[in-house]
Amino acid sequence: MRIEEDTKLDFKDVLIRPKRSTLSSRKDVDITREFTFKHSGRKFKGVPIIAANMDGVGTFDMAKAFLEDGNGLTVALHKHYALEDIQSFYKDNNADAVWYSIGMVKADEEKLKEFIAAGKAPEKICIDVANGYSEHFVEYVSRMRDLLPEATIMAGNVVTGEMVEQLILSGVDIVKVGIGPGSVCTTRKMTGVGYPQLSAIIECADAAHGMGGLICADGGCTVPGDIAKAFGGGADFVMLGGMLSGHDQAEQQITEEGGEKFVQFYGMSSDTAMKKHKGGVAEYRASEGKTVKVPYRGDVSNSLQDILGGIRSSCTYVGARRLKELSKCTTFIRVTQQINNIFGAS
Ligand code: 5GP
């Protein structure tokens, strides 16, 4: 047994220090990023926020709303759409807006191969497992790189630099970072495993950038300020689940209780998801996600305005004219839990 004594930080443990700035308005801030991916060589331009591949968030309707919004946000589609529906979405819409998601189960791989065989290889794929530390996962990722040499591959999740390097060497363009921070994730409670998300981002970004790779901070953002902290810590992309849940685009039923409207939101390894997609939780595993009711929030465009406005404002406070400069302009100050409680920071 070994104990690491270094302090590791979560979003709630820091604030971004304001700095003198020549920017007079949020309007002057450009929150899009441009990337050329290391392995695929493809280019990206847009706001680097990705809707998580979860039921109620990673939906076709969300992708259509993002296309309409025009800021270049993208959606990681959840894994449970039928192939015919995916094919017709790709045929009728700009596929640039979506990441095709797969896990490591055989059915996912077969569905992908069928998709490719029908003449359409996804340009962006998201290979998503709860624990990205297994050798089996690294081999799987390499196999996917061989299968799709021209696709941009995002894969994870991991939380430490050495695994980020391993995945980039195995053909990953964007390493997804986060174990345990998700709003409906119970991994930390069920297993005791995890890593404070801001430190994971800072350490993983450093490792990835040293190799020409990128990271996507996945999980734990509850307010726009958390997203700004993730970008400030070095994240290239940020993935959102809970913050994009509860909208018209959820493709879920809206319920009413005591005059309030709600939408169900659940982790993809919760009992609810297992029952819905797999007929129950397998005997050898426990569910590592929970089910919550989130207030119904109408069209996602309302929330997007808050999110994008918040990030623009963060950039203004520290003098970052472009999102790209936010990390360079960020000084985090450590704050105590007590201050967070008083001022309501997340
Ligand atoms: P949020 O933005 O809601 O805080 O986090 C979203 C992320 O939580 C997802 O992108 C995914 O990585 C993670 N997640 C989703 N469902 C589950 C689950 O059931 N269990 C765990 N451990 N993580 C989940």
The pLDDT of 10-38, averaged and rounded, is 94
The pTM (predicted TM-score) of the whole model is: 0.96
Q: How far apart (Å, rounded) are the C-alpha atoms in residues 27 and 251?
A: 33
Query: Would the pLDDT of 227 be above 90?
Result: yes
Could you read off the pLDDT of 77-89 as tens digits, one per residue?
Answer: 999 999 999 999 9
pLDDT score recorded for residue 291: 96
170-to-140, 174, 213 alpha-carbon distances in Å: 9, 11, 11
pLDDT score recorded for residue 247: 98
Q: 53 is written with which tokens?
A: 């591949």
pLDDT band for position 228 (cuts 50, 70, 90)? very high
Atom of ligand 1 nearest to the CA of 180: 22
Could you read off the pLDDT of 32-44 as tens digits, one per residue?
Answer: 999 999 999 999 9
Verify whether residue 185 is a known catalytic residue.
Answer: yes
Q: 112 is written with which tokens?
A: 């992908």
Q: Which of 268, 276, 281 to mutate to test the pocket of ligand 1 (most atoms within 8 A of CB)?
A: 268
The pLDDT of 96-104, averaged and rounded, is 95
Could you read off the pLDDT of 317-337 as tens digits, one per residue?
Answer: 999 999 999 999 999 999 976
Residue with tokens 């979003």: 11
pLDDT score recorded for residue 321: 97
Q: How far apart (Å, rounded) are the C-alpha atoms in residues 237 and 215?
A: 6
Whether 217 contacts 326, CB under 8 Å? no
pLDDT score recorded for residue 346: 44
Q: How far, in Å, from the CA of 147 to the mean position of ligand 1?
A: 27
pLDDT score recorded for residue 257: 93
